[in-house]
A and B are shown apart, each in its own frame.
Chain A
Amino acid sequence: MAIDMRVDLAGVSLPNPLVLASGIWGSVAGTLVRAASNGAGAVTSKSCSLAPRIGHPNPTVLHWGHGFINAVGLSNPGAHVQRQELARAHEELAPTGAALIASVFGDTPQGFADAVHVIAEAEPELVELNISCPNVESEFGRPFALDPDAAARATEAVRAVYAGPLLVKLSPNAPELVAVARAVVAAGADGLTAVNTLGPGMLIDLEARRPILSNRVGGISGPALRPVAVRCVFELAGAVAVPIIGTGGVSSGHDALEMIMAGATAVGIGSGLYCEGDGIFRRVLEEMEQWMEQEAVDSLDEIRGCAHG
């Protein structure tokens, strides 16, 4: 019997559970469509704000022993330019069956709402609120995702201007992660993306005797993040009823199935594109299917959240 890999994400049907994570491969139609053509069930654009942002100077992204550290600083062309590119991406994605998730951020709740208002015109299947970027604290203050009330205010403001499926991306650094999740769901979020990068962390170059990233600190992703992300997804799935995209260090079928067992509906892949490029989507799907076949599991629903016992 054929294995059914389709998933329903907040009312949006995805051909498979793998999602290109936000911030990877940018926001242009060409690269988003390429990821979908190579097996991603949904693709997330890089976070965009109402006004354009240059972001931090290089070095901004570094590969270290166990993953990446980055502080790109939310560089983006602004919502009006992004809207056109995403409209094109949306059109070109249609034949692939993959959904477009538009990631948006703002410096205030109204800033989130204003950016979403513009981006929604590109008709993405879902909008994801990035309330959890750890790399702009010196500019914007504490990320909304660290505080249940602030997170709820951003979600509410967007809910007032946007009726479509809404995801909120949470931070593994929130001391009260479950309280934040409950607050954004109560404020109208239809799903969660868990998690953004960990930290922030820092790397120091011995010769230069100073931090390497121009922002000095940056978010940790890749293998080092994975066990933390799995724990976050597990806690959230036990506390809220909305679907979750489990994201953080996934690079194999094993890792993706681990997220599903923790309770994720879909699985984000970001840093995993390093080395392998978009070939990773097909490989991870094949590895998942192989395991499911061996274990006589016909659909992901059978194992979703099974780790909760």
Chain B
Amino acid sequence: MGEAIYRTYRVVARRSEGSVGATLILDGPLQAEPGQFVMVWLPGIEERPLAVMDDDPLALTVRVVGPFTRALAACAPGDRLWVRGPYGRGFPVRGEQALLVGGGSGVASLTLLAKRLMQENGHVRVALGARSSDQLMLPWRFRELGCELLLATDDGSEGLRGTVLDAAEPSLSAGWADVVCACGPEVMLLALARRMEGSDVPLYLSLERSMKCGLGICGNCYCGNRLVCLDGPVFPVQEVLCLLEPPP
């Protein structure tokens, strides 16, 4: 019938993500590149960007941080979501031995990449970090895909006690990876970028920003002279290193 701005999906299944939030499996596919995002509207509540966790069927993982994400995470099978997109530049699907590094809600933008890389017969190691084991995002999904998991928690309740960078360190120092892709808090991305300075292994970073249009028009998601929705959210490290915020 044409012209509709949103595609409407129904929630088919909801999977709790511990104390973090939930994953919603929807009733249809969405063709997307790994790392791209969609704008999700809940009428009467708000519209926000979310990473495409999986593409067929479309799945979204939501971390509860405010009223919108609380309402989204509370969706039950049968509930409807309004989706536009996908938008932005995603991760290149390259590398025979890929190291993915994720923290916070950013982890959801790495799962589709892991799936594509596994489909290409790549070896995928995934380093995940969180405060404690119940806040680790989507380890089940990476396990399901057959990735090798490297876990770290601040309190040592799962994996090694430390940061996600500690979990990734043995792979980094052994020169295991031929590509590294990361998404998470900017402090984490900056630390990873600094750790890999001088390395010739390509590093791609996915940035997170508050967005309004998602279309490269409003400028709300700027990072220096870049627009995260238009130029990103995934950037080769060289493009954004000088723009990342140093830790306070």
Contacts and interface: CB of A to CB of B under 8 A. Distances in A.
A95 B117 CA distance: 45
Interface string B213-238: 10111111011111100110000000
Most chain B CB neighbours (cut-off 10 Å) among A31, A59, A68, A207: A59
B216 A274 contact: yes
Please provide the 3 A-B residue pairs with the shortest distance between their CB atoms, ordered closest to farther: A26-B219, A30-B225, A61-B213
Contact of B6 (A28, A57, A58, A207): A207
B204 interface: no
Interface string A256-280: 0000000000000011011101000
Contact of A208 (B46, B82, B212, B230): B82
Contacts of A273: 216-217
B222 A28 contact: yes
A27 B220 CA distance: 9
A87 interface: no
30 contacts: A25-B222, A26-B218, A26-B219, A28-B219, A28-B222, A30-B224, A30-B225, A31-B225, A31-B227, A34-B225, A46-B219, A58-B39, A58-B47, A59-B47, A60-B218, A61-B213, A61-B215, A61-B218, A62-B5, A70-B213, A70-B218, A72-B218, A205-B5, A208-B43, A208-B82, A210-B43, A210-B44, A212-B41, A214-B46, A274-B217
A275 B46 CA distance: 25
Given A31-B227, A34-B225, A212-B41, A65 B3 contact: yes
A271 B217 contact: yes
Given A30-B225, A33-B225, 8 more contacts: A24-B218, A28-B222, A61-B212, A61-B213, A62-B213, A70-B213, A70-B218, A75-B220
B80 A72 contact: no
A206 interface: yes
B222 A31 contact: yes
A140 to B, nearest CB: 20
Nearest to B84: A62
Interface of B: 3-6, 8, 39, 41, 43-44, 46-48, 80, 82, 212-213, 215-220, 222-227, 230-231
Contacts of B220: 26, 75
A30 B217 CA distance: 15
A205 B212 contact: no
Contact of A205 (B43, B46, B213): B43
Nearest to A29: B225
A23 interface: yes
A63 interface: yes
Contacts of B43: 205, 208, 210
A140 B108 CA distance: 41
Nearest to A62: B5
A92 to B, nearest CB: 10
A282 to B, nearest CB: 17
A213 B64 CA distance: 23
Given A26-B220, A68-B217, A277 B47 contact: no
A72 B82 contact: no
Nearest to B43: A208
A1 to B, nearest CB: 35
B237 to A, nearest CB: 18
Contacts of B231: 277
